[in-house]
Chains A and B, each alone.
Chain A
Amino acid sequence: MNEKKIHLVINQQGYDLELEPRKLLSDVIRDDCFLTGTHVGCEHGVCGACTILVDGKLLRSCLVYGVQMDGKHIETIESIGTHTKLSRFQQAMHEEHGLQCGYCTAGIVMTIEGLLRENPKPTEMEIQDALTGNLCRCTGYQNILKAIQRVLLADQEKS
């Protein structure tokens, strides 16, 4: 058939896959690699729920085809934290009640984690510029912003 063999690494685990070129990366991650933490909300790049990191850069996985990721290192929500050890931002989201139905949460966590890696001291405008790319229908964004501020304040106090 039309399938292409690729090798990619997700959360430090290698996957050898044979994919139809048109298969969206979001579907590859969820169906072929069984990592269902990355969610699909729109498949046209607007809602941000499918956001992941590829070679350290933020990316909407619904706008990329799996075959484009040959040789890439992907990070998804499952690598950010665990039940026993959440990342600082995840912990802040938990303490500030920054999530309700949870569907947009992985995309938001990835976006903020990605932002803070590149820009550990974002301004209010920079935070807004990143976060406005993630749609949330439950929280009104109030507590998500509080969670971000909490992390930045803790950073400030540390230094």
Chain B
Amino acid sequence: MNKQSEIRSQVGKPYHRREDMRFLTGNGKYIDDIKVANCWHAAFIRSPHAHAKILSVNTSSALQINGVIGIYTGKDLAELTTSLRIAPPIDGLKPIEMTTLPIDKVLFQGDLVACVIAKNRYIAEDAIDLVEVEYSALNPVTNIMHAQQQDAPLIIESMGTNLLSHQFKEKGDVSKSAKQAYKIIETSFSQHRQTHLPMETRGCIAIWDEGNQHLNFYVGTQAPHPYRTQLANRMRLMESQVTIHSSDIGGAFGQKIVLYREELTVAALAKLLNHPIRWREDRLENLVGSSQSREDICKTIVSVDSQGKILGLDFEILEDFGAYSFYPGNYLARVVAMILTGPYKVDNYRYDVKVFLTNKVGNAPMRAPMAITSWVMEGTIDAIARELGLDPVDVRKLNMVTQDDMPYLMPTGEVLCDVTPLETLNQALQIVKYEDFADRKKESLSRGFYRGIGICSVIESTTYGSEFYKAAGIPGSGHEAVWIRIEPTGVVNASVGLGPSGQGYETAFSQVIAEGLGIHPNQIRILMGNSDIAPYGMGSRGARGGTAGGGAFFLCAQQAHQKLMRIASHILNIPLDNLRMVDGYVNYLEGDRYIPTDVDLRKLSQVAYFEPTRLPEGELPGLEFHLTYDPPPMTYSNSTHICELEIDPDTGSIKIERYVVAEDCGTVLNPLIVEGQQHGAIAMGISGVLFEEIIYDSTGQNITGTLADYMIATAGDIPKIEIIHMNTPNKKTPLGIKGMAEGGVMGAIGAVMNAANSALSSLNIQVNQQPLTPMYIRSLIRDVASKNNGL
């Protein structure tokens, strides 16, 4: 029996990242850093109208400019590519089709009209200025309320409605529970439109190899293989005619997963013109024309008994999906409904999910697409406490799933296990000194500030296994694929189908493989992003990298270790069960201690490659291993976020005074990296609640099209984040990994919103919409003051 000790040798160590060197010294290789001699540039003509028919595109003046190669419209691209049809077999989801570039009409301000190819970007933009497009403006739909109306303009005429997707489901009997209720409480939650804003915008390079009839496509993508499948399909190429090269990515957060229309256009034109073409999206385009997210309006109606115990929960979510379906319409909003109940016991639950098309840029999942979930559930809990005059902590504890309840079958069929919501809640309350809050509130008031405390429990769905997709009726697989190759000199090359964008996979995965093989991480090189080299994987999203990728690597490394030990056993003539690789050397068990031999990995490898006749009977030469791993249907991580803030009633401004989070993300591969992910997630959540806002005015113009208008948090806006780590391994995943990366967003949104509510409760004000701008807070205070003055 192989003694696998619980003390990890590599996993869990706070190694500094190996990625850092190239980034710190200016030697990263982002798409724009890749030199391509004699490359042409693409730029796009974008619609100034939110909704309009394209009548004509006059390119004659523009084509006169020296250095302009050509200008191509939707009709041209329709000859070179197929259109995209999104029609997964999901109840309530309408099929939707879109051409590569719009032909008949544009659907949002910034929508694509034509592509200019020129010798450089400067000239391309000069050409854009001279292209004359004739539009016939149509009435736009700029919000969900309008989209729902009978007489609203239709985004897609043939659909007959703007309701793209509608799902509803009931478990138990919500109406019955309402009749039995002591009180029924209705609360609304409205979250505004935001955008991912990676620091590196989108971009790509297409190089068509005419000799080999092969497309080399350079793009920063989180999912190289699914991307390749899409690209080849749309260009009517065989999948083996396309290679995706994805090197360093300057942030993605969900914006860089699927094939965008601009990228497909560049690829198609590079093949048509048989000339390399590159595209760099500028920041204005990124704000106006890439993808957006989060615009949800939710409502809960909860039935409770006199103690605050939840008898039944009714949930409605309306999502503004924009005009284009880059993803299936139900995909983002549905997850909210499915995991809404989070850490709470709810027997009777009903959800209704509606997704609408409007004249805005299309949605893409944005780090924690289910971000609104925790705020909604926790906000509902706080509402119960408010209505019944109970302590919000007591209401949480009364309804929370405990260790004894697990595995707990959530009303939507999800199984909750190996999570510790009560434990993280207690820990966070203790660290923040919850019991003394009243004193702090008094002290703040003495200085003229309203202080609030907000709690947010998060159950983060991190990794989706294939069973989950099947159960949810979403096509796709949740598995991940890896290979590990031990080279003759004893160093290791390894690869996985994920596309990293800052998560430190190179460092973390080398630790995982080192753990499984019994060597040092610096012997291991991780290759990612090249679709020819990496095995076909499902890509990096949600928080699946750790569990799916890490899990696969660990299992594969164990497999490799087993073969190595079989070889060692044969060579050393020591029973297999007594052998183990430690620090790169074969060790044998003597009593309860491992003693090193002088046989290192290199020696074993030399035998495997160059002296195969010395291998044991039935053992094949070489040391190359390949493995796919399908994680459990769902893996969860949990955390409790507590935020204390002060509101200045005169200006409405909010200052976060304290931010504490107790988190349990299972086994941690590298604590530095994990903490960094948590910082980033929480910062994004805080930034979203307080600053970010995409605004489309009543004519459908995006008036937040520069970084001066679309604000994100700066170093002065994020408080010190205190993290308490409490890690219970998942019993089903390799190494007990759970994954994390998005829970922070969910927790921050809920904690800050609930804290604002807490602060304003003494003024009898409830906040149920984001963002919490000073103007909004001030308007609430003003309204209450004028009511009190009898005005």
Contacts and interface: CB of A to CB of B under 8 A. Distances in A.
A and B touch in the complex (CB under 8 A): yes
Interface stretch (A43-51, A53-61, A115-123): A43-51
Interface in B204-262: 248-251, 253
A81 B199 contact: no
Interface residues on B, range: 35 or more
A136 to B, nearest CB: 7
A5 interface: no
A83 B23 CA distance: 10
Contacts of B173: none
A99 B20 contact: yes
Given A42-B283, A97-B673, A139 B680 contact: yes
B16 A97 contact: yes
Contacts of A83: 21, 25, 27
A142 B673 CA distance: 13
A137 B35 contact: no
Contact of A140 (B198, B248, B683): B683
B24 A99 contact: yes
B119 to A, nearest CB: 12
- Select the residue from B250, B253, B282, B716 with max chain A CB neighbours within 10 A: B250
B30 A103 contact: yes
Nearest to B18: A94
Interface string A47-86: 1010000000000000000000000000011101111001
Interface string B186-216: 0000000000011111000000000000000
Contacts of B721: 140, 142
Contact of B24 (A44, A49, A94): A94
Contact of B198 (A37, A82, A137, A144): A137
A133 B715 CA distance: 8
Given A36-B33, A40-B32, A105 B676 contact: no
A22 B121 CA distance: 12
A105 B502 contact: no
Contact of A101 (B27, B249, B712): B249
B720 interface: yes
B197 A137 contact: yes
B303 to A, nearest CB: 39
Given A30-B32, A99-B20, A78 B200 contact: no
Contacts of B25: 37, 77-78, 80-83, 86, 90
Nearest to A42: B283
A46 B283 CA distance: 11
Per DSSP, chain A at the interface is loop
B786 interface: no
Contacts of A14: none
Contacts of B734: none
A131 interface: yes
A139 B198 contact: no
B672 A101 contact: no
Contacts of B720: 142
A99 B23 contact: yes
Contacts of B28: 37, 102-103
Contacts of B698: none
Contact of A137 (B20, B23, B680): B680
B679 A143 contact: yes
B715 A137 contact: no
Contacts of B20: 93-94, 99, 102
Contact of A134 (B35, B283, B715): B715
A141 B251 contact: no
Interface string A106-128: 10010000000000000000001
Contacts of A145: 715
Contacts of A18: none
A122 B635 CA distance: 46
A143 B676 contact: yes
Contacts of A77: 25-26
A139 B250 contact: no
A138 B680 contact: yes
Interface string A17-46: 000101100000010001111111111101
Contacts of B23: 99, 102, 105-106
A46 B502 contact: no
B715 A144 contact: yes
A4 to B, nearest CB: 15
A104 interface: yes
Contacts of B766: none
A16 interface: no
B487 interface: no
Interface string B163-181: 0000000000000000000
Which of A82, A101, A131, A134 has the most CB atoms of chain B within a 10 A radius of its CB? A101
Contact of B200 (A95, A103, A132): A103
A152 to B, nearest CB: 15
B707 interface: yes
B289 to A, nearest CB: 15
A23 B250 contact: no
B32 to A, nearest CB: 7
B356 to A, nearest CB: 28
Contacts of A143: 676, 679
A149 to B, nearest CB: 11
A135 B376 CA distance: 29
Given A20-B122, A101-B250, A132-B716, A47 B27 contact: no
The 9 A-B pairs with the shortest beta carbon distances in the complex, nearest first, are A37-B26, A102-B23, A103-B250, A140-B683, A101-B502, A100-B502, A77-B26, A140-B679, A46-B707
Given A36-B32, A94-B24, 17 more contacts: A40-B32, A42-B707, A44-B706, A81-B25, A86-B25, A94-B16, A100-B504, A101-B199, A102-B248, A109-B24, A131-B715, A135-B712, A137-B684, A138-B199, A138-B676, A142-B720, A142-B721
28 contacts: A30-B33, A36-B26, A37-B25, A40-B32, A42-B707, A78-B27, A93-B20, A93-B24, A94-B17, A97-B17, A100-B676, A101-B200, A101-B249, A101-B501, A102-B23, A102-B24, A103-B250, A103-B251, A104-B199, A106-B26, A135-B714, A136-B715, A137-B199, A138-B502, A139-B679, A140-B679, A140-B682, A141-B715
Interface of B: 16-17, 19-28, 30, 32-33, 35, 122, 197-201, 248-251, 253, 282-283, 501-504, 672-673, 675-677, 679-680, 682-684, 706-708, 712, 714-716, 718, 720-721
